Amino acid sequence: MPETEAVETKELELPKQRYIINTRICPNFTPQMFDPYYWINRGRILNTSSGRGTAYFVDAGPGGHWVLRHYLRGGLMAHFLKDRYMYPGRRLCRPYREFRLLAELLEKGLPVPEPVAAHVNLDYYPLARYDIITRRVDNSRDLAAVMAERDLTDQELERLGEALVQLRDNKVHHRDLNIRNILLDDNGKFWFIDFDRGSLGGDHFGEMLQRLRRSLAKEKTIKGSAFNWNDERFSLILRSCS
């Protein structure tokens, strides 16, 4: 992913639809960009990724490669309100907060993707549906994919710890720091993605480390020998965090 400049934003209000846009990399924004079929019909889908929902990796031409993600609930509420949330107002809703948090983290020089645009659909007001587009971290894979093929080296684990320290020193709270939200690129750099419900302030670093450790242990339990991990090696991450 190329070096980023300051995010330049504008907001757009249409009937029952709200948008915030990074005009620096998306000067010709159209609301249809949040519809996967906009990209499918143009042959611009590069790949998809399935987790709680489907993320679409798209070729945006001069804007680079982007990731389109629709917000979906987890837990018990997902059975009743799969993708709908009580709308707290534009400034407090999840996609706007994630967009602005990513912009602020970029200004601090942290390894996160650049936000492209966020969308609020108010067709079901007072419930809302949300989407976000971010710039893709090219030539990268998440740790689940990397560690399914090979061990992380000692040096890589130490660099991961150093990247985590950047979050700690800037008081970043990542609410779901797991191995699918950490990327490793071809240059050996670690990136953090998916800052839904994230925030700045407070001391949440120990909680984040424990969540990461549980994620590694869970994947090992599920995959067994097909996942290259030994919990004793977590000390290499901790050593870089001290």
Catalytic residue set: 176
Beta-carbon-side half-sphere exposure of residue 131 (alpha carbons within 13 Å): 24
Read off φ and ψ for residue 8, nearest 5 degrees: -110, 120
CB 22 within 8 A of CB 64: no
- Taking the C-alpha atoms of residue 123 and residue 129, their distance in angstroms, rounded to an integer, is 8
| Tokens encoding 203 | 């001391």
Classify the C-alpha dihedral 91-166-216-179 as positive or negative. positive
Question: In a 3-state reduction of DSSP, which class is residue 135?
Answer: strand
Whether the Cβ atoms of residue 98 and residue 13 lie closer than 8 Å to each other: no
